[in-house]
Homo-oligomer: A and B are copies of this chain.
Amino acid sequence: MGDAAGIGPEIIAKAWPDLIPICRPVVVGDPLWLRWAIRLVGSTAAVRVIRHPDDFEPAHDVIPCLPASAQDLSSVEPGKVSAAAGRAAYDFLSAAIDWTRAGVADGIVTAPLHKEGLRSAGLHYPGHTEILAERTGTQQFAMLLSVPGLTVAHVTLHMALRDVFAHLTTAGIIEKIRLLDDVTRRLESREHPRIGVAALNPHASDGGLFGDEEATLIRPAVEAARVEGIDATGPWPSDTLFARARKGEFDGVVAMYHDQGHIALKLMGGMRAVNISAGLPLVRTSVAHGTAYDIAGRGVADPTSLVEATRVAARLVASKTEQGGN
């Protein structure tokens, strides 16, 4: 459910009818807030409180909800930072991780949480991914962003553009190529997904005229990945790379910095963008937007990303089953 003060409860209520054909969804969250959200969006679905994910079969008009937090959320207000909501979001995720690791659930889809909410509850995590990594003992992980037909891994992300140069390494690029290869193989059901690696400089440096990172950092990473049998190519000029990816020439793109990938993803996917945690020992996807406190509680939030995140998670679970698990 994520942070109850955000748009999580209402996008779950709105998305519900579209989730049923995709999987057997169970809400790990607060039943009272779920009921409130159902009324808010004009749904007539009932909430059935359960103690185990298999207790009740989800249906169009019945939403099974697993309460998973001791927090009292009755004083939480939509759009207001709340320590109780922050702590509860952590509890919801923890329970989902436990059920998934126990093999009862197949994967996790998360609604957004709020960093300030977590912090005011004394929990110092930048987001869901770090909690998941800590609780599964994972060192090498990454958030991938996916729109229909294209998944992007970023080598660097939330830092000043000026700081990117010090954080780009051949090892970091190889790691992202590997994670992207693994996820896109499962997402696109393609044995050798086509990974396009973006250049850092315009025109991929035009043979060294505009910078040297293509020759010194990126090309060695592409070559190392190819030695491992990965169908990685590049470095490609980033402007033509994304246009080619949209035409279907690539299954995944490795971007060197935040805006390089995000400009293309926002133009290509809009609300259909989905976050995928790569490198974890469990399947987990997430909406690609935040808690949207500014519109929370108004019933206007768009559930598209949640539906897409569920679709992607289901596909990853299916491919895992086909391949005998990882």
Binding site for B on A (CB under 8 A): 157-165, 200-203, 205-206, 209-213, 237-240, 242-243, 246, 257-260, 262-268, 270
Contacts and interface: CB of A to CB of B under 8 A. Distances in A.
Nearest to A200: B161
A157 B202 contact: yes
Given A238-B259, A239-B258, 9 more contacts: A160-B212, A161-B210, A162-B165, A202-B259, A203-B258, A238-B263, A239-B262, A240-B266, A242-B266
B259 A158 contact: no
Nearest to A160: B211
Contact of A161 (B163, B201, B206, B266): B201
A202 B263 contact: no
Main secondary structure of the interface of A (DSSP, over half): helix
Contact of A264 (B162, B206, B263, B270): B263
A324 to B, nearest CB: 38
Given A259-B238, A259-B260, A262-B239, A158 B267 contact: no
A112 to B, nearest CB: 16
Contacts of A209: 158
A262 B201 CA distance: 12
Given A258-B202, A260-B259, A267-B267, A160 B239 contact: no
Tell me the number of copies of this protein.
2
A147 to B, nearest CB: 12
A175 to B, nearest CB: 20
A202 B238 contact: no
B263 A260 contact: yes
A262 B241 CA distance: 11
A202 B162 contact: no
Contacts of A267: 242-243, 246, 264, 267-268
15 contacts: A157-B202, A159-B202, A161-B201, A161-B202, A161-B210, A162-B201, A162-B213, A163-B210, A202-B262, A237-B259, A239-B258, A242-B263, A242-B266, A264-B264, A264-B267
A237 B265 CA distance: 14
Contacts of A262: 202, 238-239
Contact of A263 (B203, B205, B258, B263): B263
Contact of A205 (B160, B203, B238, B239): B160
A209 to B, nearest CB: 8
Nearest to A246: B267
Contacts of A206: 158
Contacts of A263: 238-239, 242, 260, 263-264
Contacts of A205: 160
A233 B292 CA distance: 23
A203 B262 CA distance: 10
